[in-house]
Homo-oligomer: A and B are copies of this chain.
Amino acid sequence: MTDRGEPVRVDFRTEPSGYKHWRLTVNGRVATLAMDVREDGGLAPGYELKLNSYDLGVDIELYDAVQRLRFEHPEVGAVVLTSAKERVFCAGANIRMLGRSSHGWKVNFCKFTNETRNGIEEASAESGQTWVCAVNGPCAGGGYELALACRHIVMADDGNTSVALPEVPLLAVLPGTGGLTRLIDKRRVRRDRADYFCTLEEGVKGKRAVEWNLVDEVVPRTRLEEVARQRAAAFASGSDRPADARGVALTSLERTLSDDRIAYRWVTCTLDRRRGLADIAVAAPAAAPPAEVAGAQAQGAAFWPLALARELDDLILHLRVNEDAVGVWTLRTSGAADLVEAHDRFLEQHAAHWLVREIRLYLRRTLKRLDVTSRSLFALLEPGSCFTGTLLELALAADRSYMLAGAREGDEGARPATVRLTAANFGAYPMPNGLSRLASRFLAEPGRVDDLKGRIGQDLDAEAAAEAGLVTFTPDDIDWNDEVRIALEARTAFSPDALTGMEASLRFGGPETIETKIFARLSAWQNWIFQRPNAVGDRGALQVYGTGQRAEFDRRRV
């Protein structure tokens, strides 16, 4: 919720017929997504979305479009991203909105917008759906960051059109959606040129933009649409997406929201706001997977792995934005390990099929969302749980895990908790650092990951799981309640800020990628800058923007 407006409860579910800000058209192998932001269509009152500037609501629709293009349009091999406005491409995030937003809102907003841009890049890189940006007017800040997420940028060569990252000179903050990192590490712009570029309010246009690799090509305004379409068609012709397949409709996601409970078909979350806890329970599928992909296609959005991804995705987004004082999430599972393993095997066997590939990539993105979520994650593995394969990733994504050793008193008949590895744990769901969660976990002993391959399909009890390094603690029933309670109480008593910084630092060992640089480096700097009086004080640049007043800065360098 914003600091100064009324609390806004954000719903991330939408669909094209409800779009206020985008026009999606599909023409054979090439789709066009045109930004057409409605000035009075802001998510909260108090600001106007002028010049194709955006707020979270605009980006929720963008995210929805990205998802639907992937699932509902197997025939689309390339997407042209452009503006439907006459004289502007996109002015970036709306400054008035930022100026009136709380710190947490701003940071969450940047995280979500960046995740969507990562998804656009993933579509180009792994899904055979390549994004081409047609810059048809000023393209500044978040607008240029949107372009940077595309594989190919074509810009109109006219007096009006330029690309710019004017955040530092205009607003005293950094580009919030990975702009600096994508400039340096994706487009590999020379650092001194990047330095200059990032201090120019007016940006760079024409030949220099190409020479500095800020865009890929410039063409006369009159030819822009045609050239962008040609480039898209060329990418589409190289795509392995099937031209004649039927898509899967992302039907409206059913959920029940009560005061302290969010329930979907397979995922349920219970909130204990007083203690600052969210308990997330995920259920294994109720039946075996179909024999063939056609069966999964027939199930559509009800197919368990896809439903799971959608439900988890929505829940994570919901909790992040609407429940910011709930700092610790416990992760539980239930159900039949065999059925999860069977589904993992199905996904593995048909990994080359466009729909199965999409589902796996969606699960991967959803698990990555968990990795970068600023909440403490504790997995609880109890009798009846089902931490198998894809669901075991939840425990591996957690900051720690507690596994109950042996049976519960009074319930000695129940099978003690076990965990089971499947092939999915060995590469299907890489973290933002590019490693599987297992490889990331065993940085010190890479050989251990290979050894664990030999244990795929085995049920490992608490002792074996601890021995294998898959869980953190294995109290027995006598200690379980106290140990878990004390751990949760301690966690919720610590400073939320210190935990956020600590978790972000400990979760990503080993290699860095553009994604980890953005989340762990750029957003940390931005978090800092978003708090500084030079940006958000009464005379800070973000506050006085547009008032005609000049920002006042404390000149001391930190």
Contacts and interface: CB of A to CB of B under 8 A. Distances in A.
Contacts of A557: 104, 324-327, 374-375, 496, 499-500
A399 B184 CA distance: 13
A401 B524 contact: no
A199 B491 contact: yes
Nearest to A399: B195
A498 B191 contact: no
7 contacts: A104-B558, A167-B498, A195-B399, A501-B529, A512-B517, A521-B521, A525-B527
B192 A399 contact: yes
Given A172-B497, A185-B510, 18 more contacts: A167-B498, A180-B502, A189-B444, A191-B506, A192-B401, A325-B556, A326-B557, A374-B558, A495-B535, A496-B558, A497-B534, A505-B521, A521-B521, A524-B524, A524-B527, A527-B558, A528-B528, A528-B531
A196 B195 CA distance: 40
B534 A528 contact: no
Contacts of A184: 443, 505-506, 509
A196 B517 CA distance: 25
Interface stretch (A37-45, A52-60, A152-160, A547-555): A547-555
- In the complex this chain forms, how many copies of it are found? 2
Nearest to A512: B512
Contact of A168 (B168, B196, B326, B502): B502
A498 B490 CA distance: 35
Contacts of A541: 495
Contacts of A327: 555, 557
A160 B375 CA distance: 34
Interface string A186-224: 011111111110110000000000000100000000000
A196 B506 CA distance: 11
A528 B191 CA distance: 25
Interface in A400-418: 400-401
B400 A195 contact: yes
Contacts of A505: 174, 180-181, 184, 521-522, 525
Nearest to A555: B325
Given A213-B444, A498-B174, A191 B509 contact: yes
Interface residues of A, number: 90
A195 B499 CA distance: 10
Nearest to A400: B192
A472 B196 contact: yes
A35 B115 CA distance: 48
B192 A498 contact: no
Interface string A315-335: 000000000111100000000
A441 B184 CA distance: 10
A501 B188 contact: no
A81 to B, nearest CB: 24
A507 interface: yes
Contacts of A326: 557
A315 to B, nearest CB: 16
A324 B191 contact: no
Interface of A: 103-104, 107-108, 167-169, 171-174, 180-181, 183-185, 187-196, 198-199, 213, 276, 324-327, 374-375, 398-401, 440-444, 469, 472-473, 490-491, 494-507, 509-512, 517, 520-522, 524-529, 531-532, 534-535, 541, 551, 553-558
A494 B526 CA distance: 16
A525 B496 contact: no
Nearest to A470: B192
Contacts of A534: 495-498
Contact of A494 (B169, B213, B399): B169
A498 B399 contact: no
B172 A553 contact: no
Question: Which 7 pairs from chain A and chain B are nearest by CB?
Answer: A172-B495, A188-B444, A524-B524, A501-B525, A512-B512, A528-B528, A180-B505
A423 to B, nearest CB: 23
Nearest to A540: B495
A190 B469 contact: yes
Given A199-B491, A400-B195, A526 B555 contact: no
Contacts of A528: 497, 501, 524, 527-528, 531
Contact of A497 (B189, B500, B521, B535): B535
B494 A168 contact: yes
A192 B555 contact: no
Contacts of A198: 502, 506
Contacts of A509: 184-185, 188, 191
Contacts of A375: 557
A93 to B, nearest CB: 15
Given A184-B509, A195-B503, A501-B174, A554 B443 contact: no
A400 B194 CA distance: 9
